[in-house]
Amino acid sequence: MELQKITCGGCGASLSLSGEPKFVDCRFCGASLRVVRNESAVFTEVQERVEALGDEVAELRKDADLRALEDRWAATQRELSGYDRRGRLMRPTRGFAVFIMAACLLCGIPGIVSAIITQRNVFAPLGFTFFVLMFGVVRGGGTWRQATRYEEAERAYLEERRALMQLEGE
């Protein structure tokens, strides 16, 4: 049986190996070492370090995935949100869409009432009423669709974030 001389990856002590073990413990520093063989050399790696580095790499990968998800969500928020007078992001809501449509309906009612009461020159009040109502439908409908897209994107973001956080907990 041939003895091989290698050095400990933890403390540098000389170790003698017989056979072909995959793991060995250093009798000087107590480190658990993995024996690595290739065509030209035999050397050791400190097993705890290898495992710890693997764990650290996995943790860094999870953090990078989470950061990338947060960045994508921030970009999606900017894309799907509006801005108020001060330049702050304003989340689109279905309630605001209903408000737009109701306000336009209320503004159009005087035109309809005026046309019914006066019964002369009906086209001017009805034309204005039609314009206001169409504005309400178009603007309110657009806001409604935007709010729906925002909610769907937020739901997908939260599901993906929850999945990443569960992986992180494992």
**Residues 46 and 111 occupy one common structural domain:** no
Q: Rounded mean pLDDT of 33-59?
A: 65
Q: Is residue 73 part of a domain?
A: no
Bridge partner residues of 23 (DSSP): 34
**Residues 92 and 36 occupy one common structural domain:** no
pLDDT confidence of 110, banded at 50, 70, 90?
confident
Q: Is residue 120 part of a domain?
A: yes
Q: Is residue 63 part of a domain?
A: no
pLDDT tens for residues 59-78? 888 889 999 999 999 999 98
Q: What's the maximum distance between 2 C-alpha atoms anywhere in the chain?
A: 116
pLDDT tens for residues 136-165? 999 999 999 999 999 999 999 999 999 988
Domains identified in the chain, total number: 2
Backbone angles phi, psi at 39, to 5 degrees: -60, -35
Q: What is the mean pLDDT of the chain?
A: 81
**Residues 85 and 165 occupy one common structural domain:** yes
**Residues 102 and 155 occupy one common structural domain:** yes
User: Which pTM value belongs to this model?
Assistant: 0.58
Q: Is residue 126 part of a domain?
A: yes
Q: Is residue 104 part of a domain?
A: yes
Whole-angstrom distance, CA of residue 151 vs CA of residue 144 = 11
Q: Is residue 43 part of a domain?
A: yes
**Residues 89 and 165 occupy one common structural domain:** yes
**For residues 5 and 41, is the Cβ–Cβ distance under 8 A?**
no
**Residues 114 and 157 occupy one common structural domain:** yes
The range of the structural domain enclosing residue 131 comes to 81-169
Q: How far is CA 15 from the centre of its chain?
A: 50
**For residues 82 and 100, is the Cβ–Cβ distance under 8 A?**
no
Q: Is residue 74 part of a domain?
A: no
Rg for the chain (alpha carbons), in Å? 35
